Structure 1
Amino acid sequence: MSRRHRGLGRGLGALIPGAETPSGLIQVSVNDVTSNPRQPRHDIGVETLRELADSILEHGLLQPLIVTERSPAEAAGGPRYQIIAGERRWRAAMLAGLDVVPILIKEATPQETLELALVENIQRADLNPLEEANAYQQLVDEFGMTQEQVAERVGRSRVSVTNSLRLLRLPDEIKDALLANRISGGHARALLGLTEVDLQLRVLRAIEKRGLSVRQTEELVRRLTTSVQATSKAPAEQAPETRALEDRFRRALGTKVSLYRSKRGGRLVIHFFSEEELQALYDRIVGEEL
């Protein structure tokens, strides 16, 4: 492995030699630059752009855009340069009304372009946890990198990358909440402690409705996990008719229901995650308010 690749986790200066120095800078029209299709950050907040645009109007664009020159076929009469790093600065410069921007031209493969954009966003803490996880997965899927190689390239531990990728296993509803910043990465990681989707979604609703902190969420997940482990049977031991009854109860009550049968009887456990859910269940079963 080359020295250049071993330095990829240490910042843009290691990623692109000379990227942090002003040598080789040129000024080009903002219209001669285009965005990076591999940009891992999809949500660039309007308010954040306005604040950066105001700063650019007052102080100028202090850092150049790192770009690569497009081939004639890629440009096809359009923008000549594609951004590697600095897309938010470019958008803010246009919002501020700048006609030209400083750029630093570098050669980069598609893989390096994604790596560079990812590293810049990570170092500036710009990425939503789900955007970061998707970018890691893109490096794995498109370029055949192992999780260890991804970690080395972006300057993270392998455990950090592995935990990030686990977020992609969450149900879409939870991923949407994470992407919209209704829950944090800590909340999402806590939900991974639950293996059943319906439990994950009910805890999600409890987080949003009751404003649970990450620590409170972890404690709720711990209690639920302990309860399930203490009372449930292995799925292989559960008779098909018992599973079918559980499903019918679940559909009828709109919540998780666990049915445990034995020769002497059994238990029917109805789960709820807030006082509001308890009231709704009571209304449905008893037909009056508590």
Structure 2
Amino acid sequence: MAKATKKQALGRGLSALLKDPENDIKSVSDKNADKVIGNVVELELSAIEVNPFQPRSNFNDEALEELASSIRELGIIQPITVRKLDFNKFQLVSGERRFRASKLVGLETIPAYIRIANDQESLEMALVENIQRQDLDPIEIALSYQRLIDEIKITQEKLSDRVGKKRSTITNYIRLLKLHPIIQTGMRDGFISMGHGRALINIEKKKEQIGIYEKVVSDGLSVRETERLVKAYKEQKGDTDSGKSQNGTKEIPGFVSKGIDALKKHLSTKVDITASPNGKGKIVIPFHSKEEFQRIKKMLTGE
């Protein structure tokens, strides 16, 4: 208990240091920076603004109330992380639920780790840290991955190393963004799972995606049932993945049918194959970005 009291008192002392205009710390090389940067400091909630880079957009009111009740009883167990913007002005990097719940409780201060970071670093820290959380929905994760690729200018391979996920996992999440917005909302609201979404992606036309989606929800179909429904739909449409040629009349040779799934799995992308019974045909591998083209090229050529 004595250690906790001493640490809290130290945090309040550092808070006073940050409020001294003569000690305005703007970089790690400034005087007293080592006393503040990377340490836990008791900050006024009014001096902290929310992070515009926060990937989470849905905050469950009931869950916030439960967290607020815990904070009321036990206090803040894990400090939030902020970056210093200006004199006595900070921005959240992570911990927005704790920040919001503390406001609900009526706290005036909150313990926080202080970082110094530019906008790009702050975006990367916020997105990478939030991606690791277990309670983000698949669309929030997909949007976070896409923002890192677009705004940090990072490839899927480097992103894979950065967040500790397989590149195929990242690709599967990003592909969810091809779903109709209504289906994305349904996934965020828990009407369907990521597995359902991955099955529905195979329907290219978004209007037709909606028709299948509505049946999945109304009939309470499982992922496997949804996959079968999508497969049956594509066979009816004469889709090349269903084992028919583009005119829908000729059977694809068995050796091609057996190889389609292996190609898809190896390349982690859709593969279109048309073939005639005599064994002639063609393979079409679509791509949706420069990075994806380069990834496929590397896997096929090794360069």
> 1:53, CA displacement in angstroms?
0.7
The residue type equivalent to 1:216 in the other structure is E
> 1:114, CA displacement in angstroms?
2.3
Q: 1:142 to 1:57 in 2, by over 3 A?
A: same
Q: Which 5+ residue runs of structure 1 have no aligned equivalent?
A: 1-22, 73-78, 238-290
Aligned to 1:163: 172
User: For structure 1, which segment, 165-174 or 37-46, has the greater mean C-alpha deviation from structure 2 after superposition?
Assistant: 165-174
> 1:233, CA displacement in angstroms?
6.2
Q: 1:86 to 1:231 in 2, by over 3 A?
A: closer
Q: Return the alpha-carbon distance in structure 1 between the equivalents of residues 105 and 228 of structure 2.
A: 47
Q: Return the alpha-carbon distance in structure 2 between the equivalents of residues 62 and 231 of structure 1.
A: 57
Q: Which 5+ residue runs of structure 2 have no aligned equivalent?
A: 1-37, 250-303
Aligned to 1:34: 49
Residue 136 (structure 2) aligned to one of 124, 127, 135: 127
Q: Return the alpha-carbon distance in structure 1 between the equivalents of residues 43 and 155 of structure 2.
A: 38
- Counterparts of 1:248-259 in structure 2, within 5 Å, are none
Aligned to 1:89: 98
> 1:159, CA displacement in angstroms?
0.7
Aligned to 2:187: 178
Identical residues among aligned pairs (%) = 40
Task: Tell me if the contact between 1:41 and 1:126 (Cα under 8 Å) persists in the aligned partners.
Answer: no
Q: 1:103 to 1:231 in 2, by over 3 A?
A: closer
* Secondary structure in 2 matching 1:70: strand
Q: Return the alpha-carbon distance in structure 2 between the equivalents of residues 120 and 31 of structure 1.
A: 24
Residue 226 (structure 2) aligned to one of 217, 220, 223: 217
The residue type equivalent to 2:246 in the other structure is A
Q: Does 1:67 align with 2:82?
A: yes
Q: Does 1:45 align with 2:45?
A: no
* Secondary structure in 1 matching 2:83: strand
> 1:181, CA displacement in angstroms?
2.6
TM-score by length of 1: 0.66
Task: Tell me if the contact between 1:40 and 1:114 (Cα under 8 Å) persists in the aligned partners.
Answer: no
Aligned to 2:292: none
Q: Return the alpha-carbon distance in structure 2 between the equivalents of residues 81 and 128 of structure 1.
A: 28
Q: Does 1:107 align with 2:116?
A: yes
User: For structure 1, which segment, 49-58 or 220-229, has the greater mean C-alpha deviation from structure 2 after superposition?
Assistant: 220-229
Q: Return the alpha-carbon distance in structure 2 between the equivalents of residues 166 and 101 of structure 1.
A: 39
Task: Tell me if the contact between 2:72 and 2:105 (Cα under 8 Å) persists in the aligned partners.
Answer: yes
Q: 1:172 to 1:163 in 2, by over 3 A?
A: same
> 1:160, CA displacement in angstroms?
0.8
Aligned to 2:71: 56
Q: Return the alpha-carbon distance in structure 2 between the equivalents of residues 178 and 50 of structure 1.
A: 24
Q: Return the alpha-carbon distance in structure 2 between the equivalents of residues 231 and 62 of structure 1.
A: 57
Aligned to 1:146: 155
Q: 1:117 to 1:40 in 2, by over 3 A?
A: same
> 1:226, CA displacement in angstroms?
3.5
> 1:101, CA displacement in angstroms?
0.3
Aligned to 2:107: 98
> 1:80, CA displacement in angstroms?
0.6
Q: 1:231 to 1:85 in 2, by over 3 A?
A: closer
Over the aligned positions, Cα root-mean-square deviation in angstroms equals: 2.5
Aligned to 2:15: none
User: For structure 1, which segment, 154-163 or 195-204, has the greater mean C-alpha deviation from structure 2 after superposition?
Assistant: 195-204
> 1:149, CA displacement in angstroms?
1.6
Deviations 1:176-225 (A, max 9, x none): 22233322222111111222333311110012111112222122222323
Aligned to 1:196: 205
Q: Return the alpha-carbon distance in structure 1 between the equivalents of residues 132 and 123 of structure 2.
A: 14
TM-score by length of 2: 0.64
Task: Tell me if the contact between 2:132 and 2:163 (Cα under 8 Å) persists in the aligned partners.
Answer: no
Task: Tell me if the contact between 1:61 and 1:101 (Cα under 8 Å) persists in the aligned partners.
Answer: yes
Q: Return the alpha-carbon distance in structure 2 between the equivalents of residues 109 and 183 of structure 1.
A: 38
User: Which structure has the higher relative contact order (CA within 8 Å, separation 6+)?
Assistant: 1
> 1:231, CA displacement in angstroms?
9.1
Aligned to 2:246: 234
